[in-house]
Structure 1
Amino acid sequence: MQITRTFSGASWESTVGYCRAIKAGNHIYVSGTTAVAEDGSVFAPGNAYAQAKRCFEIVKQALQNLNADIHNVTRTRMYVTDISLWAEFGKAHQEFFAENPPASTMLEVNSLIDSAMLIEVEVDAVCLD
C-alpha cells in the first residue's frame, strides 16, 4: 500500500512528530486542525464561525495536496470548547459540505492547546483514484 504525507509547515508538526494529513491507499486522515493564521497565531480569537471556516480551509488545502477535495470527505469530527456556539460552527461546516454532507460529530471539550482556540477538526476522506 502506498502512503503519502502532507505537511502544513506548522512548527509543532516536527516538534510533536505528526503530519497534517496522510493518504494510505485510498483513505485520507487529516490530523486535528485548529484555526491557525499564516504567522502561527490563533486566527480570529473569539469568533467561532471564522475559526471553523479557517479550519476547513486548512483541511481543504491538505486534501488538495493529496489529490483529493471536500467531496471526498466521509467523516468530520469537531471538538469545540463551547457547544452553545454550535450554530456558528455548523454554519461553516454547512458551507463547505452542503453538496456532499459527510457523517459528522460535534463534541464539547474542556480546552484545546491554546485557550483562544474554539474548535479543532479531524477529517477522514476516501478517494476512488
Structure 2
Amino acid sequence: MSNRTNIPGTSPFEPIIGFSRAVRIGNVVHVSGTGPVGAEDLSPAEQTRVVLKLIETALSQAGATFEHVVRTRMFLARVEDWEEIGRAHGEVFGTIRPASTMVVAALLNPKWRVEIEAEAVLP
C-alpha cells in the first residue's frame, strides 16, 4: 500500500507486538490504544489529559488535529471513573463531538485508569 504511513510512538513494545502509535491510510488516521505512560500515579482525569496529549502528538505527526477525529474509544479500568474521565474527554471533544464508546476493561498496566484510541478523517 503506497498510501500507508506508519507513525511510531515511544513504546519499546511496538516492534515486539507489531504495532504503530498511529497509521495513516489516505485521508484516514487510526490511533492505537494509548495509555497514560509515565502518569500512572495521577488522577483518572489527569491520566486522560496525558493520554489525549499523546494522541494529539500522533495525530499531528499524521497531519491531523483533534477537529478531524470522528471516533474515540475509551477503555476504563473502573466503572466509577466514567464521569471524571468523560469530563476530561469533553474538555477536548465537547464541541467536536465524535462518535464515542466507553467500556470497562482490564488494562495492561494495573495503575492505568484509562486507555483511549481514536480515528480521524482529513478533508
Specify the TM-score bucket, using the shorter chain as the normaliser: over 0.9
Task: Name the counterpart of 2:30.
Answer: 29
Alignment correspondent of 1:113: 108
Aligned with 1:85 (options 57, 81, 85):
81
1:118 CA displacement: 0.9
Q: Would the aligned equivalents of 1:53 and 1:92 in 2 still touch at CA under 8 Å?
A: yes
Partner of 1:50: 46
What is the CA distance between 1:85 and its match in structure 2? 1.0
- Residues 1-51 of structure 1, C-alpha deviation per residue, up to 9 Å, x if partnerless? 5011111121111121110000011111000100012xxxxx142511011
Matched residues in 2 for 1:79 and 1:44: separation?
Answer: 15
Unaligned runs of 5+ in 1: 38-42
Compare 68-77 and 46-55 and name the one that shifted more: 46-55
d(CA) in 1 for partners of 2:93, 2:28? 18
- Tell me by how many angstroms 1:99 deviates: 2.4
Structure 1's consecutive aligned runs of 4 or more residues displaced over 2 angstroms after TM superposition are none
Q: Which residue of 2 aligns with 1:94?
A: 90
What letter matches 2:107 in structure 1? L
TM-score by length of structure 2 reads 0.94
Q: Which amino acid aligns with 1:101?
A: R
Identity within the alignment, %: 31
Residue identity matched to 2:62:
L
- Where does residue 64 of structure 1 map in the other structure? 60
Say what the alpha-carbon RMSD is for the aligned residues. Answer: 1.1
1:100 maps to amino acid: I
Q: Hey, what's the Cα distance between the residues in 2 that align with 1:46 and 1:23?
A: 31
Do residues 127 (structure 1) and 98 (structure 2) align? no
Tell me if structure 2 keeps the 8 A contact 1:46–1:116. no
**So what's the TM-score if we normalise by structure 1?**
0.90
**Structure 2 gap segments, 5+ residues each:** none
